[in-house]
Amino acid sequence: MGKKKEKPINLNELEEEEKMKYEIAEELGLLDRVLAQGWKSLTSKETGRIGGLVTKRRRTQENGTAQTEEKR
């Protein structure tokens, strides 16, 4: 079987959740490695940390939206 081709990532054309994932990777200092070698280059600890922060941020956004709607 042939090797899977990796296409370059355009950070401007990602969905919101994907953008958030890359932003958190950047905050943790992992973005360079992700862009160079892909997500598979991260340890399970690093991946879990990113996932946990994505979940936390998503909850914060949902709660902020719900509170804004309640004030209306």
Give mean pLDDT, residues 32-58: 95
Residue labelled with tokens 């079987």? 1
**What percent of the chain lies above the pLDDT cut of 90?**
58
Q: What is the pLDDT confidence band of residue 52, given thresholds at 50, 70 and 90? A: very high
CA distance 25 to 19: 10
Q: What is the residue type of 41?
A: S
Q: Are 46 and 28 in contact (CB under 8 A)?
A: yes
Q: Give the domain ranges of the chain.
A: 16-71
| Distances in whole angstroms, Cα of residue 29 to Cα of each of 25, 41, 54 | 6, 13, 15
0.85 cut: is pTM over it? Answer: no
